[in-house]
Structure 1
Amino acid sequence: MSKSWVRRLVIASVVLNVFLASAFVGGAVWLRNAKSGVSLESAGRQLPDQDRKTFREALRQVRVQSRQIILDGQQARQDAADLLRQPVMDKAALSAALERARNADGTVRTRLEQAIVDFAANTSPENRSVLAQALLRHMERRAAVAPKKSP
């Protein structure tokens, strides 16, 4: 092999290793953040085993019972996307589709939050503290991501 081929192989190897190392670090960061979620739903991961199962089951039941509403919201977003692709946009139809999606999302969120309220009302003060900490982390994260208002 000539020196130029060896040099190319070394450069390719270095580039590949940097890429793989970056992917590994990025994946590790993503997993760490995924495990320490900031929503009330993700707070269930911090609960003791039996309480975590009860919490997850309550949220799963809401999703099962809300399946049609979830599907309706997805269909409304698909309708909105289809309307946006049209050569002539129907503003009223687009607004209506987005409103249907928003209403579906709001209904499901309300049901999930009510299930969390019901769980909190029937659990220990320690478990409620776990939920409170998750809510505070959620607020802090949203504040950190929120755009700064200019004067």
Structure 2
Amino acid sequence: MSQSPQRLKRLLIASLLANVFLVGGVVGGLYQWSQHPRPAPAVVQHGLRQAIAHLPQERRHQLRQMLRETRADNQSLIMASRDAHRDVVQRLKAPSLDRDALDADLDRARTADITLRTRVDATLADFAASLPVEQRQVLADAMTARRQGKAANTAKD
């Protein structure tokens, strides 16, 4: 089954044209993609994340490190909170509701959550104490920006 040289030449030219077309499409797509600005992130950061974003790089790193250490030091508390929340869900899914056990699980979850929040807040306070006045002001403004926006929206309603 030998093909004529003329037919092979046509197939080679068709293949070459198809490849040039594909490469051109890829290059054109990459060019278009690189020329358009990236869209803003869909998730609006608020609270501590927004505050961290407004700090200088070295301070951001310092706060993140402090929060990582707090998380590592309180891993047992985090696990206790997860376990308590899981127990609450299981109690709610049970065919019969044991109200006393549910209340006890909710209390365990609440206590763990409050204790963890208190420790994170203490870490944030320690960090804020190390900041100069200007950076504390930036931190405070970033942390309250969302609340002030909500208050303004509530006042309009």
Normalising by structure 2, we get a TM-score of 0.67
Match of 1:30 in 2: 42
Match of 2:60 in 1: 52
Match of 2:94 in 1: 86
Match of 2:48 in 1: 40
Question: Which of residues 133, 138, 145 is equivalent to 1:137?
Answer: 145
- 1:117 deviates by 0.6
Q: How does 1:2-151 map to 2 (within 5 A)?
A: 28=40, 30-31=42-43, 33=44, 37-143=45-151
Counting matched residue pairs gives: 118
Judge conservation of contact 2:54–2:142 (CA < 8 Å) in 1: no
Structure 2: distance between partners of 1:43 and 1:62: 18
Structure 1: distance between partners of 2:49 and 2:118: 13
**Larger-Rg structure:** 2
Structure 1: distance between partners of 2:149 and 2:90: 33
- 1:144 deviates by 6.4
SS in 1 for 2:42: helix
Q: What 5-or-longer segments of structure 1 have no aligned partner?
A: 1-26, 147-151
| Residues 1:57 and 1:29: Cα distance change in structure 2 (over 3 Å) | closer
- 1:145 deviates by 7.9
| Residues 1:115 and 1:41: Cα distance change in structure 2 (over 3 Å) | farther
| Residues 1:115 and 1:98: Cα distance change in structure 2 (over 3 Å) | same
* Amino acid aligned to 2:42: W
- 1:86 deviates by 1.1
Judge conservation of contact 2:50–2:143 (CA < 8 Å) in 1: no
- Deviation sequence 1:61-96 (CA, Å, 0-9, x none): 111111110110000011011111111100011111
Q: What 5-or-longer segments of structure 2 have no aligned partner?
A: 1-38
Match of 1:21 in 2: none
